[in-house]
Amino acid sequence: MTFIEEILREQLGLSADLAALLIVFGGVLVVATGGLLTPIITIWLERKVAARFQDRIGPNRVGPLGLLQTIADVLKLLSKEQITPRDADKVVFFLAPILMVVSVVTMFAVIPFSPLAIGADLSIGILYAIAVSSLGTIAILMGGWGSNNKYALLGAFRVIAQLLSYEVPMILALLVPVLLAGTMSMQGITEAQANIWFVFFVPVAAVVFFISSTAEVGRQPFDLLEAESEIVAGYNIEYSGMQFAMFYLGEWLHAVVICLLTAILFLGGWQGPLVNADNVIGPILGMVYLIAKTTLLYFVHMWIRFTVPRLRIDHLMAFNWKFLVPLSVFNMLIVAFIWKLFPAPEEPGFVAELPRALGVLVGNIALVAVTLSLLQGYATRERQKVEGLVDETLYDPRAPRVAASATD
């Protein structure tokens, strides 16, 4: 930053204020454009990967390997008429897709790409990201309401119930890295993972965060809002052309952002061998590491997307409130407790931090073991219930129907 400022001031003779202003706006443009362009690649990537999962070839006509497919799609959408329904609440209808994209793009402002490259290193960084993304809920509600369409409004209500519910385990899981790092700054959380990445000793929090943020994006297996094969598109049913594309863009960007956030919070962000702020190559290398980790997570994301079937809405809610929320609460308590049992290492270092990390890891493993055994017991009871139901009602009409009423 200072390097560019010097050029602006000394070579071009600008005043200090103007130079600072130009740098701010230039930074915003670079970060936002970079963020907005990622879906061009990820949409192609995802279509290719989906095709491989489903034993197809995927896009292969437009450009080499079909790389230009997304651009062709954008051009097609640009030529489509944007229809606003007669009865729509026109201003709200118009603003909804814009707010949707804004709510996701502004999250890029606090993403640390390397030790030096970060838009704004806020002291409340991660809370800022969560707060901004919660504005997307309002955009969905505006879209559903503005369309003046029963299905759109119903779809919006369903989505919001889902988004609100899954925000609870997401934030609870997020408290764990904040607690371990002792800061909410994204750069601070990354720096706290210099020796051991958080995912290695708080895997439960990492997995809960990844699952619930996948639900926040509303993708398979949590894509009840869309469910292309079952219901009409949901809250965005009345949208067409670029306005529809903006909702789509918001979703795809959000998918990238949650992978970025998971990489930063749990996989050490830009941390990796040979990264430090002092040499020239360090910052660039950090960016490469972060993108590599994000891509890896994005692949996992796609993997889940194309292999796990869609959940039913009551299962979706039960999974959140009766499984993820209690799990993340107990996880946080266990991590906090064990973290306090071990004294803080005198100075940072892999060996010094190892005992405490191992202790927390053991706690995590114990939690998983208990959870699995509870789940096994639950599954056994459910199975016996179903089997019992079949036996009693089919073969013995006088048998008490306790099992049937006990299914709730």
Partner 1 sequence: MELNEWVFVGAFLAIAWTFPLAPILANYFLAPSRPSRIKRDTYECGVETVGDTWVQFKVQYYLYALIFLVFDVEMVLLFPWAVAYNELGMFAFLAGGVFILLLLEGLVYAWRKGALEWS
Partner 2 sequence: MGDVVFAIAFWVFTLLTLGGGLAVVTVRNLFHAALFLLVSLFGVAGLFVLLVAPFLAAIQVLVYMGAIGILIIFAIMLTRGMMRLEHPFNSQAVAGGAVALLVFVGLVLVVTPLADEIGLAEVNIPAEIIEEDDPADVDYETVSEMGRVIADRNGFVLPFELASILLTAAMIGAIVVAREDEA
| Residue 22 binds partner 1, judged by CB under 8 A | no
Q: What angle do CA 345, 200, 373 make, to 5 degrees?
A: 115
At 373, which amino acid appears? S
Tokens of 250: 């918001």
- Binding at 325: pick from partner 2, partner 1, none (beta carbon under 5-8 Å per type): partner 1
Kindly list the distances between the CA atom of residue 371 and the CA atoms of 164, 237, 378, in Å, as whole numbers in the listed order. Answer: 24, 40, 10
> Rounded to 5 degrees, what are φ and ψ at 112?
-85, 110
Question: What DSSP letter does each residue of 205-225 carry, written as one string?
Answer: HHHHHHHHHHHHHT-TTS-TT
Residues at the interface with partner 2 (CB under 8 A): 16-17, 20-21, 89, 92, 122-124, 127-128, 130-132, 134-135, 137-138, 141-142, 145, 157, 160, 164, 182-184
At 172, which amino acid appears? L
The nearest distance, CB 395 to partner 1, in angstroms, is: 30
- Is residue 335 exposed (0-12), middle (13-18) or buried (19+ Cβ within 10 Å)? buried
Would you say 168 or 361 has its CB closer to partner 2? 168
| Residue 19 binds partner 1, judged by CB under 8 A | no
Whole-angstrom distance, CA of residue 394 vs CA of residue 407: 17
| Residue 339 binds partner 1, judged by CB under 8 A | yes
Kindly list the distances between the CA atom of residue 283 and the CA atoms of 24, 107, 275, 390, in Å, as whole numbers in the listed order. Answer: 19, 21, 7, 64
| Residue 370 binds partner 1, judged by CB under 8 A | no
Question: Contact with partner 1 (CB under 8 A): which of 7, 24, 71, 365?
Answer: 24
Would you say 50 or 153 has its CB closer to partner 1? 153
Binding residues among 68-97 for partner 1 as defined by CB under 8 A: 77-87, 97
Question: Contact with partner 1 (CB under 8 A): which of 42, 114, 149, 214?
Answer: 149
How many residues touch partner 1 (CB under 8 A)?
87
Binding residues among 122-141 for partner 1 as defined by CB under 8 A: 122-123, 127-128
Please answer whether residues 103 and 153 qualify as being in contact, where contact means their C-beta atoms are separated by less than 8 angstroms.
no
| Residue 371 binds partner 1, judged by CB under 8 A | no
- Binding at 17: pick from partner 2, partner 1, none (beta carbon under 5-8 Å per type): partner 2
